[in-house]
Structure 1
Amino acid sequence: MTERPSAFAVDRRGFIRLAGSTAAGWLALGATPDRMRIVASLTVLPLDDELTRRSMTDSATTRLGGLIAGLRQRGWVEGVNYRFEIRSTFGGPDKFKAAVRELIDLKPDVILTGSTGETAAVMAATKTIPIVFATSNDPVGNGFVESLAHPGGNVTGFTSSTAEMGGKWLQLIREAVPDIARVGVLFNPATTPRAGRFFLDSLEQEAAASGVAVVLAPVSATADIDGAISRFSEPPKAAMIALVDSFLVVNRQTIIAATAKYRVPMIYPFHYFMDAGGLMSYGPTLEVRSADYVDLILRGTKAGDLPVQAPRKYELLINRTVANALGLTIPFTLLARADEIRE
């Protein structure tokens, strides 16, 4: 929907210069290294989750599949010159700690993390193994990096949203449901950036300007979701916003089922929710750029020398069939701006 060039984006020529400054350089492209490298990854999703299974089978269309395909293009072939290890942190605190410890004990050459909590846990466990976070909304505020341009330490990666997205989500859901008097905000304080405040400031500013009341709907367990959403099915008329939150991604099916049950319109931050039957989403287009950074790190570049990169494009998705089921007529002006309309 909107192109947003990152101030810290590195073009291909820049990557070549970075690689050329390392000991291995690009001369090693396609060559078998002196030892088998280990690329490790943590996922907050269960290994049998649909998203995880798709990631391991669909090449360039998913984050992990795109990583493996991208590494192959750069001369890294799984089972030949590197080995890929993945662990799930799903299943409670003990399982989380065990998954992190298992990967650290492998002494991998680089670890990819998929959520803020995972990044924090791995950083607490190692100051030397390079870490690349696939999504982090506030890496400076979370203490992961010194700055976006110069991360320092052993960490770098990619952001997925900005604080201003809170206000943008409210604007869009109000266009779809213009007569709402209040908006509910669904999130888990333990797994969303700054316990929700990262997005709430801009959301509350937009709400004040538009005369909409903001009602927080924090949840900490799957069993809380149904009740949190049912509150917004009664007058005064309401819609909801799901914040960027790994807990909500894991429980996306439960959330979608509750919104359908109680006929509550909700906007989501990722297309994952649309795949589960959500009404609309606005968030970053999936771009698998981690292969560039993993390749450079495997060739000797320090993670802290690679700038954190922001999304280059955001997309608006709308499901018109879901809208009809909720009794909504999406305005043509909104449909015309959608990157994808699902029927």
Structure 2
Amino acid sequence: MSFLRSVCYLVLGLSCAATSLSLLAKPVSVLVLSILSEEQDRKVMQGLTRELRQFGASTEEIQVERVEINSDQSELAMRSEVQTALAKRKWQLIVATTGSSADLARREAVGVPLLFRTAANPLDECLIESLRTPSGGATGYTSDLPGEPKMLEALKQAYPAMTGAIMLVDGTPEESGQVDCNQIITHAQVPCESGPKVAGPNVATRDPYLDQASLARFARTRRLQLRYFQLCSIDDLPRLSPLLTPNTGVVVPNRGLFYEDRQTLVSYLNTRQVPAIYAHRAMLQAGGLMALLPRAEPLDAPPRGIEQARRILAGTPPGQIPVQRPEGLELTLNLRVARQLPVPPSKSALRAADHLLR
């Protein structure tokens, strides 16, 4: 019987390669920790059941239990639910379906190997210390890629006459706080004020994840005037208006304020007929012009997490297993929005786009 193949279904609900690995020398208990609904997890659990039946596994050999945490309740109540689940038996593996459930497992299930299906930023969520060497009891998959310099490059390729670019900075406390994984959170001492920001420490204080050096390097080589503009509230968007001169584009990184108020932000930039590039699929759904996103896995690619699960079950500490990331970025261009702008995107950008929304 192959426990590895069972974990394939547990992680993704997909079938694995027909490889027979007898990893179960003793009963194994797996906890699926989720804040998603039972319906959303149904395929994962059904796939696992089918796989176990296919290989004739008995319930004595492997025990898989899904625990759904109500995310609408207080953090204390959620942690209590996790503690109750952990007390049922000794778990050999915890599979968290989201970053939030992974964070709960990290806090409560010290010493139990943790595999997270996805986490937007596992470093910021204190799940790991490094993508290459997590150095803890967790590993998994993250869709996070530092793509702002590539976003600027794609925007320039689409609009070669562009002479200026504005990088938006989320100045809200949630983004500007520096996370300490020992439970201490400090926030920038300077109150947030919407408006232009000078590159350097002023921007880094509010958004330490922006690769300012790479952005500046590309701007110099393309003779672009790169400016940073901080928003503390979406209501401050009108302050951006004086900078939206002809041949100026806007780069919108994937940050909390911009995502939460995406409809207002996208509508404002479209109304101003400004070419803008985003970093989240939801921005395209809100009517965004273009987006640079983590590349989706090919349908015939080996399901992610399989090698990680195999190594964990073979005895390798999760902290020694690198976190998996997408294989590059892909560009999506919304032609419906592009037709409303005074200048169409370049032919080279249309050829380079991985997806065209018509």
Q: TM-score range by the shorter chain?
A: 0.5 to 0.7
Which residue among 315, 321, 324 is the counterpart of 1:306? 321
Which residue among 271, 289, 298 is the counterpart of 1:279? 289
CA positional deviation for 1:167: 1.0
2:163 aligned with 1:151, yes or no?
no
C-alpha contact (below 8 Å) 2:158/2:348 kept by paired residues: no
Other-structure match for 1:175:
157
C-alpha contact (below 8 Å) 2:308/2:321 kept by paired residues: yes
Following the alignment from structure 1 to structure 2, what is the Cα–Cα distance between the partners of residues 193 and 283? 25
Other-structure match for 1:337:
352
CA positional deviation for 1:282: 0.9
Other-structure match for 1:318:
333
C-alpha contact (below 8 Å) 2:149/2:218 kept by paired residues: yes
Alignment of structure 1 residues 136-147 onto 2, 5 Å:
136-137=120-121, 139=123, 144-147=127-130
Which residue among 240, 243, 256 is the counterpart of 2:250? 240
* Bigger shift: residues 260-269 or 300-309: 300-309
CA displacement, residues 107-130 of structure 1 (integer Å, 9 cap, x when unaligned):
285252645x87666534442344
C-alpha contact (below 8 Å) 1:130/1:297 kept by paired residues: yes
CA displacement, residues 293-322 of structure 1 (integer Å, 9 cap, x when unaligned):
568768987533533112124211000111
Following the alignment from structure 1 to structure 2, what is the Cα–Cα distance between the partners of residues 184 and 42? 34
C-alpha contact (below 8 Å) 2:165/2:251 kept by paired residues: no
Secondary structure of the structure 1 residue equivalent to 2:339: helix
Other-structure match for 2:85:
106
* Bigger shift: residues 260-269 or 169-178: 260-269
Following the alignment from structure 2 to structure 1, what is the Cα–Cα distance between the partners of residues 32 and 282? 25
Instruction: Give the TM-score normalised by the residue count of structure 1.
Output: 0.65
The aligned amino acid for 2:157 is E
Other-structure match for 1:207:
219
Which residue among 7, 32, 38 is the counterpart of 2:31? 38
Following the alignment from structure 1 to structure 2, what is the Cα–Cα distance between the partners of residues 101 and 328? 56
Which residue among 225, 234, 258 is the counterpart of 2:234? 225
Following the alignment from structure 1 to structure 2, what is the Cα–Cα distance between the partners of residues 297 and 229? 52
Secondary structure of the structure 1 residue equivalent to 2:167: strand
CA positional deviation for 1:291: 6.6
Following the alignment from structure 1 to structure 2, what is the Cα–Cα distance between the partners of residues 200 and 39? 36
The aligned amino acid for 2:352 is R
CA positional deviation for 1:95: 4.5
C-alpha contact (below 8 Å) 2:244/2:274 kept by paired residues: no
Secondary structure of the structure 2 residue equivalent to 1:132: strand
Query: Which structure 2 residue ranges, 5 or more long, are not aligned?
Result: 1-14, 179-205, 298-302
2:115 aligned with 1:132, yes or no?
yes
Other-structure match for 1:166:
148
Following the alignment from structure 2 to structure 1, what is the Cα–Cα distance between the partners of residues 48 and 257? 29
Following the alignment from structure 1 to structure 2, what is the Cα–Cα distance between the partners of residues 340 and 260? 20
Following the alignment from structure 1 to structure 2, what is the Cα–Cα distance between the partners of residues 250 and 171? 25
Corresponding pairs, count: 294
C-alpha contact (below 8 Å) 1:185/1:217 kept by paired residues: yes
Instruction: Give the TM-score normalised by the residue count of structure 2.
Output: 0.63
Counterparts in 2 of 1:157 and 1:261: CA distance versus 1, 3 Å: same
More relative contact order, 1 or 2 (CA 8 Å, 6+ apart):
1
CA displacement, residues 63-106 of structure 1 (integer Å, 9 cap, x when unaligned):
x68755764675499xx9634445475x7xx8456545544543
Other-structure match for 1:263:
273
The aligned amino acid for 2:323 is V
Q: Give the CA RMSD over aligned residues.
A: 4.4
CA positional deviation for 1:159: 3.3
CA positional deviation for 1:341: 0.3
The aligned amino acid for 1:203 is L
Following the alignment from structure 1 to structure 2, what is the Cα–Cα distance between the partners of residues 66 and 186? 39
Following the alignment from structure 1 to structure 2, what is the Cα–Cα distance between the partners of residues 285 and 76? 34
CA positional deviation for 1:331: 0.5
CA displacement, residues 228-254 of structure 1 (integer Å, 9 cap, x when unaligned):
376147543432222233554444334
Secondary structure of the structure 1 residue equivalent to 2:166: strand
